[in-house]
A and B are shown apart, each in its own frame.
Chain A
Amino acid sequence: MPWVRQCFTIRGPLVQFTKNIRRSVLLRSGAAALALAAISAGTAKAATVTLVESGSSLLYPLFNLWVPDFTAANPGIQVTTTSTGSGAGIAQATKGLIQVGASDAYMSDALVAKNPTMMSIPLAISAQAVNYNLPGLNDKHIKLSGPILAGIFSGKITEWNDPAIKAANPGVALPAHTIIPIHRLDGSGDTFIFTQYLSASTPSWKASPGFGTTVSWAAVPGEIGAKGNAGMLAAAAANPYSVTYIGVSYAAKVEAAGLGQAMLKNADGKYVLPTPETIAAAANSVVTDTPTDERISFIFADGPDSYPIANYEYAVVNSKQPDGATAGAIQTLLNWAITTGNSPTYLDKVHFLPLPTAIQILSKTQIAKVQ
């Protein structure tokens, strides 16, 4: 039964694979040190350091835009990018298997307490839309709130013409049809920020199921679990009367599929769409409160214009690197990412926003700690 063994040892080869990568990185950085010595001895020979970035599938497209331009500008540094998921990014960076972990969520207090040298460094700002497929209403931007969405995803609100939804949308002809909630099956930063919004706005959701990259979803009749943002989009497009949450980097595809985009109720009771202005307003509302380790959420942020589901996209990096060449390369990469990499040339393609200046300074201070 080879498939049985395959099924159980799938992580074996993976770990081995990443170990090999790390070994080659070590070898190369060793070679880099030698080459540096050679340079100081007067030989002008290019040294190469290889960095491995892995994690968030939301950040992956952005890293893919960044890397060719970054390596062109910095020929001594090679960057390998992979998309494995935020949890894997954090875990592998903590174990030292990779140099840069990409994550939609900052490391939790418990994880930081366990690994005090690990830092969460914001690179850019992302947001999430709540999309729906309501025949005839997809161009109307219906209004939804945290408690309404919590009701839908916990099975307490099952019809589109439920009094709570009607009250939020006076004058809109809501259909008497069962709501099909679609949630992510795989662990995801999108689930993390969506359930954070529900937890922050709805006490009963905070009590259970709470928030996380995966949560214990209540069984709702008709619900669908889909894999990845692409799966969410396909399921929503194929199922009229569905509602789902999709990262803004998919905005163009969501629009092409003809889905509706909901206005969400923020902490000030206003309904807002995810636009550059409302997302920036949310980010700006926490600038002064952001601690030096930059682990802060601006989900359900205060302010009349703040969009409620926006977040920092993080690089998770160990401040203690095995050698100076690797540390230097990480610093160069991350500093490039939050300056040149934050220009609209890159961010507009994935609908991300640049870091506010004050946050950029905090990120630079953290990056300088990588030794």
Chain B
Amino acid sequence: MTIRPFRLTLLGLSLLIPLALAAVVLFLLSFSWQAIGYSGFSFITHEFFNMGGIDGDPVTVRGVSVPAGADYGILVFILGTILTSGIAILIAVPLSVGAAIFLAESIPDKFRPVLSMLVELVAVVPSVVFGLWGVAVLVPFIGNILGPAISHTLGFISVLGGGDSGGGYGLLAASVVLALMITPIIATTLLDALLQVPKENRESAFALGATHFEVVTKAMMPMVRTTLIGGIVLALGRALGETMAVLMVSGGGSNAMPSSIFSPVATIASFIVSQLDSAESDPTNMAVRALAEMALVLFIITLVTNAGAKVLSSGVLNNVRNRKH
């Protein structure tokens, strides 16, 4: 048998990443096992989260030692995570599709590198900078201007505030900050794909008498649909896991389901980071285990959305293929 050092090295390196991922999942599972046993299924169906009296003497409940009154339910945070990311995607997709089409079609070639670089630059702005901007500019804007305007005109719709727009911190602020963070991710992915659409396709469409609008929507967009979905998945990944910017502007609602776009919310990631310090002074360690279980739930949510997007994009792919035949 010949030993192939190069191939073996590559194999080892390529296995490293999935192994590290598996190790993280295994660690989270084993570390949070006690919390999973303590909370059971109510962990994800129950809307109250209480670390209990971590400074008092622990009590024994169902055979495990926990702080008195400890009760871990994270439904509010699951909903907060999905809502902030979902609304962020709703805002970001039209923005980024528009930006990508503009950059691909409506500016001279020599300006494109500069402008697309500017868009890419937004993608590397650290999230805490977005958070600070959110606190200093966006939150007062929503609290003083946008919020009252929406709730006065459309307040009869309860999810638009029902007449009460709060102080600016909340679901809308978090979603807008997230939307700004992910717009460049979708836009740059889409731009690259649009620039790779074969010239022949564009030119044949023009030759058939299509307007510029028709060329973009009928000849080009269908060819980049898969890439668009891929970009959205990437963006969703960042939005679901974003911690600091959300923590700074979300208002951190707990123990109550968000009732409008102005309600304070907390996401799983932001809640974990805000509570970890207190959890560390829990003598039974159960609070840290519960936070680890939350991390596991976040992991599952991202896995499910990614898998869903894969199925969706392959389905779209087949559609395009079928249409060609």
Q: Interface of A with B (CB < 8 Å)? A: 1, 3-9, 84-88, 90-91, 105, 108-111, 113-114, 180, 185-188, 192, 208-214, 216-219, 221-227, 231, 234-235, 238-239, 242
In angstroms, Cα B292 to Cα A123, docked, is: 34
Q: Does the CB pair A213–B281 fall under 8 Å?
A: yes
Which one of A91, A114, A216, A222 has the highest number of Cβ atoms from chain B below 10 Å of its Cβ?
Answer: A216
Residues on B with C-beta less than 8 A from A208 are 69
**Contact of A224 (CB < 8 Å), options: B24, B167, B247:** B167
13 contacts between A and B (CB under 8 A): A3-B241, A85-B277, A86-B277, A87-B276, A87-B277, A87-B279, A108-B281, A108-B283, A110-B56, A214-B274, A216-B51, A222-B164, A238-B139
A216 x B306 contact (CB < 8 A): no
Is the CB–CB distance between A1 and B237 below 8 Å? Answer: yes
A-B interface, 8 closest residue pairs, ranked by CB to CB distance from nearest = A225-B252, A187-B278, A219-B256, A85-B277, A216-B50, A185-B252, A214-B278, A187-B277
From B254, which residue of chain A is reached at the shortest CB distance? Answer: A217
Report whether A7 and B243 are in contact in the complex, using a CB–CB cutoff of 8 Å: yes
Chain B residues with Cβ below 8 Å from A88 are: 276-277, 280
Residues of B19-76 at the interface with A, using a CB-CB cut-off of 8 Å, are 20-21, 24, 28, 48-51, 53-58, 69, 71
Shortest Cβ distance from residue A257 to the other chain B in the assembled complex, whole angstroms: 14
When the two chains form their complex, are residues A219 and B254 in contact, meaning their CB atoms are under 8 A apart? yes
Beta-carbon contact of A87 and B255 below 8 Å = no
Contacts A4-B299, A214-B275, A227-B274 known; A221 to B56 CB distance under 8 Å? no
Question: Is A90 a contact of B281 with CB atoms below 8 Å?
Answer: yes
* CB-contacts of B87-141 with A (<8 A): 135-136, 139-140
Contact A4 B302 (CB under 8 A): yes
Please judge, given known A-B contacts A219-B255, A235-B167, whether A227 and B248 are in contact too, CB under 8 Å. Answer: yes
Do B24 and A87 touch across chains, with their CB atoms under 8 A apart?
Answer: no
Size of interface on B: residues with Cβ below 8 Å to A:
58
Contact A239 B281 (CB under 8 A): no
Chain B min CB distance to A269 (Å): 27
Q: B50 — which chain A residues lie within 8 A by C-beta? A: 209, 216
Within the complex, what minimum Cβ distance (angstroms) separates A120 from chain B?
Answer: 12
Give the CA-CA distance A109 to B248 in the complex, in Å: 33
Partner of B54, one of A5, A185, A212, A221: A212
B187 beta carbon closer than 8 Å to chain A: no
The interface centre, meaning the residue of A90, A185, A242 with most chain B CB atoms within 10 A of its CB, is A185
Instruction: List chain B residues, Cβ under 8 A from A213.
Output: 54-55, 277-278, 281
Extra contacts, 14 of them, besides A1-B306, A88-B280, A219-B253 (Cβ < 8 A), are A4-B299, A5-B24, A91-B281, A111-B283, A113-B283, A187-B278, A214-B51, A216-B49, A221-B164, A224-B169, A225-B169, A225-B254, A227-B248, A239-B167
Q: A210-B69, A217-B254, A219-B254 are in contact. Are A90 and B28 (CB under 8 A)?
A: no
- The reply to whether A225 and B69 contact each other, CB–CB distance below 8 Å, is no
What is the CB-to-nearest-CB distance from A308 to chain B, in angstroms, rounded to a whole number? 19
Contact B168 A8 (CB under 8 A): no
- By the criterion CB–CB under 8 Å, are A212 and B278 in contact? yes
Closest CB in chain B relative to A182 CB, distance in Å:
9
- With A4-B241, A4-B302, A224-B264 as known contacts, state yes or no: A212 contacts B167, CB within 8 Å: no
Contacts of A86 in B (CB 8 A): 277, 281
A111 and B167 contacting across the interface, CB-CB below 8 Å: no
What residues on A are CB-neighbors of B57 within 8 Å? 109-110
- In Å, the complex CA distance between A193 and B302 comes to 38
Residues of B within 8 A of A1 (CB): 237, 302, 306
Are B274 and A187 in touch, CB under 8 angstroms? yes
Instruction: Decide: A180 near B167, CB < 8 A? Known: A8-B28, A238-B143.
Output: yes
